[in-house]
Amino acid sequence: MTEDISTKTTNPSISGPADIHSLNPKGIRVAGIKWVPVVGGKYKVWTKKMGKGTLKVLLLHGGPGFNHDYLDCFESFLPEAGIEMYYYDQLGCGNSDNPDDTSLWNLERYLGEVEEVRQGLGLTDFVLLGHSWGGMLAIEYALKHQHDGHLKGIVISNMVASIDSFLACAIKWKKTLPEDLLKEVERMESEGDWENPEYDRIITGVLYPKMICRIQPWPEPLTRSFRLANMKIYIQMQGHSEFVVTGNMKGWNSWDRLHQIEVKTLVIGAQNDEMDPEDCKKMANLIPKGEVAICPEGSHMAFWDDQEKYFEYLLKFLKSL
């Protein structure tokens, strides 16, 4: 009789501290997928290599609590340009381990995770591209690790330099709602009525198609990321909504530290983003080797809704390194 494996996990947890060699099979092709131990080997995160080239780019997805899926379109552009790219799902997200430990969901711990992933993948001369929350991580990683000799440059995609700056623009978008809808949204927010289906309908049905992704229908990888999001992480770090930040990212600010970033930096924004494109321009001016590119038709997911311009700007920068 064959063994019944239906109740067994295909993603076993690590029983003790593990190294990368004990997590990955040897001598077979696995489509670029590799487990990397994090938190000192207690957990593991899922990574995937696409393409091959001397220029290597590690992608940091947003959220917090989302996964890499919504970045799938990058594999249609970077590998064919001769660029080696790496996806990874942050701890608690997507294919990676999902421990029930709220002490793990904070900026400092995730920042340490990025370095563990870099080491696990053996990246010694690479570009870090962070989108949205991933852009926060990219800024902090550059400030902490730019002198380690591994970081070639960073791309800050669709993220501004502080939570307050983000909120100022996001709230402007909220105020574009018709007066009756705006009053209803603000009432539900003041009452903490986050589970009300009407709140979700207005935010995701009316506002998100304007400021998150402006093409219809949304690409399947994007809807997949939203469907699979770990909302426990999102709520702890961000809050219950894009418009009310109550989580532990509240108060984050890097405006007065941007001048300390010494590596070449591209700040990509979009005209219809929930991040103010004028703030993106200011950021690039404050970073000594900063450049800025604004996607004229794009929103927060400009690599989907202004795809041609986004990748034109991105590839030009990457090839200049």
DSSP 156-224: EES--SBHHHHHHHHHHHHTTS-HHHHHHHHHHHHHT-TT-HHHHHHIIIIIHHHHT--SSSPPHHHHH
Q: How confident is the model at residue 17 (pLDDT cuts 50, 70, 90)?
A: low
* pLDDT at residue 20, as a whole number: 80
**Residue 212: half-sphere exposure toward Cβ, Cα within 13 Å:** 20
Given a cut of 50, whether residue 5 has pLDDT beyond it is no
Sequence-distant (6+) residues with CB within 8 A of 107 are: 136, 137, 140, 237, 248, 249, 252
pLDDT, mean of residues 86-95: 98
300 is an active site residue: yes
* pLDDT at residue 247, as a whole number: 97
CA pair distance 64, 175, nearest whole angstrom: 24
68 is an active site residue: no
Given a cut of 50, whether residue 60 has pLDDT beyond it is yes
Catalytic residue chosen out of the listed positions 69, 131, 132, 157: 132
Given a cut of 80, whether residue 246 has pLDDT beyond it is yes
* pLDDT at residue 237, as a whole number: 98
pLDDT, mean of residues 71-96: 98
Catalytic residue chosen out of the listed positions 61, 300, 305, 306: 300
* pLDDT at residue 12, as a whole number: 47
Residue 189's closest CA among 202, 176, 178? 202
* pLDDT at residue 16, as a whole number: 57
Sheet of 290-295, strand order: 33-38, 43-50, 83-88, 55-60, 126-131, 151-157, 264-270, 290-295
Q: How confident is the model at residue 14 (pLDDT cuts 50, 70, 90)?
A: very low
Given a cut of 80, whether residue 216 has pLDDT beyond it is yes
Helices assigned H by DSSP within the chain: 20-23, 107-121, 133-145, 163-174, 179-191, 197-202, 208-211, 220-227, 231-237, 277-286, 302-305, 307-320
pLDDT one-digit tens code per residue, 170-213 = 999 999 999 999 999 999 999 999 999 999 999 999 999 999 99
pLDDT, mean of residues 289-308: 98
Higher per-residue confidence, 19 vs 263: 263
pLDDT, mean of residues 205-230: 98
Rg, Å, the chain Cα set: 20
State the amino acid at position 186 in one-letter form.
E
pLDDT one-digit tens code per residue, 249-271 = 999 999 999 999 999 999 999 99
Q: How confident is the model at residue 238 (pLDDT cuts 50, 70, 90)?
A: very high
Beta bridge partners of 88: 47
Residue 295's closest CA among 280, 286, 84, 287? 280
Residue 41's closest CA among 103, 91, 108? 91
Backbone angles phi, psi at 40, to 5 degrees: 65, 25
Residue 261's closest CA among 161, 167, 165? 161
State the amino acid at position 12 in one-letter form.
P
Beta bridge partners of 37: 44
Sequence-distant (6+) residues with CB within 8 A of 170 are: 211, 242, 243, 274
For residue 102, the SS3 value is helix
Tokens of 30: 């696995």
Catalytic residue chosen out of the listed positions 72, 89, 273, 305: 273
Beta bridge partners of 157: 131, 268
132 is an active site residue: yes
Given a cut of 60, whether residue 10 has pLDDT beyond it is no
* pLDDT at residue 196, as a whole number: 96
Only one residue has tokens 């404050």, namely 286
Peptide bond into 64 cis (omega under 30): yes
Q: What is the mean pLDDT of the chain?
A: 94
